[in-house]
Amino acid sequence: MSQMEMNRVIILQKALDGEVSVPYAAFILGISERHAYRLKAKLQTSGPAGLAHGNRGRKPAHALPDNIRQEVVQLAQTKYSGCNYTFLSELLCEHEGICLSPASVGRILKAAGILSPRKHRPHKPHCRRPRKPQFGMLVQIDGSHHDWLEGRGPSLVLLLAVDDATGRILSALFWPAEDFEGYCRLLYQLISQHGIPLAIYSDKHTLFFSLKEKQDHLTLEEQFLGERRSLTHIGRILRDLDIQHIPAYSPQAKGRIEHSFETLQQRLVIKLRLAGASSLEEANAVLPDFIEHYNEKFAVPPAETVSAFRPIPSHLRLEYIFSWKEYRTLNPGYIYYSLPG
């Protein structure tokens, strides 16, 4: 019996003994007079046990069966280990036919001593940069080194291109390392599917920005174009496509894509596990369907409906632009042959 019920027994017993009136007892207990008379009658006929709620000890009609609770706990520890409560509730409904709210899943797992792997830390106050108003006005690119295959296969890097205005994943690619060929494939996929964006936002990796700033490192073409530092191969591709290249000076500066990586490191890892992916080809085969569902769930509409992506000019040959080009100086007496085609 709770403390409140014990207080009711004491006050109502005094009303039965005539020490206090029923209206005064109702006032002390904070209930109506009608309810006080009802409780007094129960106390007189059934004793103190009659004041306990009638549903006490009964299992609620809408309560989950114990076997469902046990199955949720088992799946959270084995097949879907590492999921947070929200993602686990989605997977249970999609694959197991167990449709529960994230709050219900959280209650079941907390009762079993299983906490969410994601720690909810208080947000640090800072001024967020507003999103670009148009789709394709700014695209953030970066790579994430993570154990994507959980030891089932080789170490892979996820290369990603995210639209700043909407948060949509525009292109994604698993690759063995962050190198020229990987980013070349990522940008080719982005431009061939969506068009040419106005600007690319990346970190200051040497793949994107050269460390050579002296004029003697510049080619004759770069000097004519007014370049102040030697362009990397990626920089030359962006220049040829007339894409502005903006450097980020900290990971926080490109928070859109960093938040995307944080979500993918939780959700995509589980999807790769369920698909049994253990190689580069199998991991890349999972991406199209996953990206479609990701964009449906997390992307937001842009402030302006007009797209900033530009169509590919008819005179441009993407296979020529997305290539490795180097300048060579021939000694006197060497012969240069130009091959047809």
pLDDT in 10s for each residue of the chain, 341 residues:
677 878 888 888 888 888 889 888 889 888 899 998 988 888 888 888 777 776 676 777 777 888 899 999 999 999 998 888 999 999 999 899 999 999 999 999 998 988 887 766 666 666 778 899 999 999 999 999 999 999 999 999 999 999 999 999 999 999 999 999 999 999 999 999 999 999 999 988 888 887 655 444 555 555 445 555 567 889 889 999 999 999 888 777 788 899 999 999 999 999 999 999 999 999 999 999 999 999 999 999 999 999 999 999 988 888 889 888 777 776 776 766 666 65
Kindly state whether residues 106 and 210 are assigned to the same domain. no
Measured CA to CA, the distance from residue 260 to residue 263 in angstroms comes to: 5
Q: Are residues 197 and 284 in the same domain?
A: yes
Same domain, 234 and 145: yes
User: Do 216 and 312 share a structural domain?
Assistant: yes
* Reported pTM: 0.73
User: Looking at the 3D structure of the chain, how many domains does it have?
Assistant: 3
Residue 119 located in a structural domain: no
Are the C-beta atoms of 36 and 26 separated by less than 8 Å? yes
Same-domain check for residues 266 and 165: yes
Whether 176 and 228 map to the same domain: the answer is yes
Would you tell me how many other CB atoms lie within 10 Å of the CB of residue 246? 13
> Domain span at residue 42?
3-51
273 and 167, same structural domain? yes
Is residue 179 located within the same domain as residue 216? yes
pLDDT at 228: 53
Residue 74 forms part of a structural domain: yes
Does residue 330 fall inside a structural domain? no
In a domain, 295, yes or no: yes
Cβ(12)–Cβ(44) below 8 Å: no
**Domain of residue 242, CATH code:** 3.30.420.10
Same domain? For 107 and 204 the reply is: no
